Structure 1
Amino acid sequence: MSGDDGFKVVRPPWAENAAERRRITPTGLWRVRVFVLMAAVLLAAVASAEEGAAKASDGTHSGKEPLGAETQSVCLSRSHAKHGNDGNSHAKRGNDADGTADREGFQVHGVESPYQAGRTEIRVLRPDRLEEGRRYPVVYVLPVEAGNEARFGNGLVEVKRQDLHNKHRAVFVAPTFSHLPWYADHPTDPEIRQETYLLRIVVPLVEKQYPVQANTDGRLLLGFSKSGWGAMGLLLRHPDVFGRAAAWDAPLMKNKPDQFGMEGIFATQENFEKYQVTKLLQGRAVELQGPNRLVLTGYGNFREHHQQAHDLMMRLGVAHEYRDGPARKHDWHSGWVEEAVGLLLHP
């Protein structure tokens, strides 16, 4: 029997029954081949995705971006965001992936991640007017206390009081931490991984949700006391991720974890030394002899630490901005923030 296209149609024995006959032509065979090819491509794509996920899970980091955006696997809480006596109020119920506005005008993202014990928050302060197509630098305002405690004030509130988000046309971000923040990963407790939380959760969420510069020059760090230590350590450990760091009144010369709640975060001397600022400065000295990427401004409780850190950087040839004073209260609201932000954004 010949088909309409002139080719002979051969029917297998099982197709001789009239009710089961199907016309088998070269056109039909071509369609089958296309279907098989598409199935093979799909299977290859699935295998590639699984391999990529396996590589991502090993925690390696070799590029110039944060350690890996894991916000897709993080639970973004929809519960009310309750704040302490830091000038913040209840955040309205909503989708925290997009942020919910609080009384201070901050966007509050509720987050649950494997790197922190329980719910944490990421607060964001944007310029009042965003220009279409423009990307803004981000200043990470690093807290000195766990949760929403505010014994030493509130950094993001101070930024807003000084209108620095509008003066400098920048986005300011303040994450919270479940434990006292020293910006380190505990060697054994998976729920005290502060460095990893910042790199894998906070930075990727901000860069996904806001029109910001997703590059080294666009990521800046601001802190004092514990978070001044953290700002310095984060840049020195990840100079390909963060562009500049400013520390005010921080215990930069500590050489063992024996004060200020360090023990509960670093746990061991060996782990502490991975984050020790003086050792990191020595190890990064050659890389940091170019433009100023480190800022030391003023003091309250730790003048000797800043003086000695300045002397060490001078001996090592590390470029930095240094201000010896004036003396101020050890607090976010004592007048040092405006100068430090200016030096960060306009070196």
Structure 2
Amino acid sequence: MLGTQDRPPVHLLGFSKGGFAALNLLTRHPGNFAIASVWDASLLSDRPPHPQLVEVAGSIARLDEYDVRHNLRRHARALQGPRRIALGGIGTLEADWTAGRQLLETLGIPHDAYRDAPADHRWDTAWLAPAIRHLLALEADFLPGARAREE
């Protein structure tokens, strides 16, 4: 379905490693996904990747294909224009949030950087409402007629 022209826009939403996955999908395939709102997404700083992620990928080289920073640089031009990324969170991954925001600014990729979600990095629903609010704001900017649907 993602390869067809007649399909609804696909929005991505994620927390922590799920936020990494959402950013990864958007940055690797900017033509297939419209927007992403993430909270406390991992792997945006220059620290070594978590061993669990290397194990899942199979090797460091394979994980490099999914390096969000690399893919942001590679597809920066496609991600310029309307804001397509909402980067939120301050939990235990503040260094990732800061590094991700700096990289987006350096590459000239418009984004929404927010910190109006809870500070605890734990899975519960507290991060979800702010992430969805920012996702809807991105949609309103990115998609013609989105404001009319929202009303």
| Shorter-chain TM-score above 0.5 | yes
In 2, the alpha carbon distance for the partners of 1:263 and 1:272 equals 6
Give the TM-score normalised by the residue count of structure 1.
0.37
Aligned to 2:77: 286
1:343 shift after superposition: 1.5
- Aligned length, in residue pairs: 137
Q: Indicate whether 1:244 and 2:49 are aligned.
A: no
Identity within the alignment, %: 31
- Aligned residue for 1:230, secondary structure, equals helix
Q: Indicate whether 1:299 and 2:90 are aligned.
A: yes
Correspondence list, 1:178-257, <5 A: 214-215=7-8, 217=9, 219-253=10-44
In 1, the alpha carbon distance for the partners of 2:47 and 2:24 equals 15
In 1, the alpha carbon distance for the partners of 2:46 and 2:7 equals 34
**CA, structure 1 residues 326+222, in 2 after alignment: closer, same or farther (shift >3 Å)?**
closer
Q: Is the 8 A contact 2:87 2:114 kept in 1?
A: yes
Aligned to 1:66: 2
- Aligned residue for 2:7, secondary structure, equals coil
In 1, the alpha carbon distance for the partners of 2:23 and 2:77 equals 16
1:262 shift after superposition: 0.7
In 2, the alpha carbon distance for the partners of 1:336 and 1:245 equals 14
In 2, the alpha carbon distance for the partners of 1:258 and 1:297 equals 20
Unaligned residue ranges in structure 2 (runs of 5+): 139-151
In 2, the alpha carbon distance for the partners of 1:227 and 1:333 equals 13
Q: Is the 8 A contact 1:249 1:302 kept in 2?
A: yes
**CA, structure 1 residues 309+226, in 2 after alignment: closer, same or farther (shift >3 Å)?**
same
Unaligned residue ranges in structure 1 (runs of 5+): 1-64, 69-212
Larger radius of gyration: 1
Q: 2:62 is aligned with what amino acid? A: N
- Give the aligned CA root-mean-square deviation in angstroms: 2.3
Q: What do the CA deviations read for 1:216-257 (whole angstroms, capped 9, x no partner)? A: x2x111111110100000111111211111111122325587
- Aligned residue for 2:65, secondary structure, equals helix
Q: Which of 313, 320, 331 is the equivalent residue of 2:122?
A: 331
In 2, the alpha carbon distance for the partners of 1:310 and 1:228 equals 14
Q: 1:331 is aligned with what amino acid? A: R
Q: What do the CA deviations read for 1:31-51 (whole angstroms, capped 9, x no partner)? A: xxxxxxxxxxxxxxxxxxxxx
In 1, the alpha carbon distance for the partners of 2:126 and 2:30 equals 28
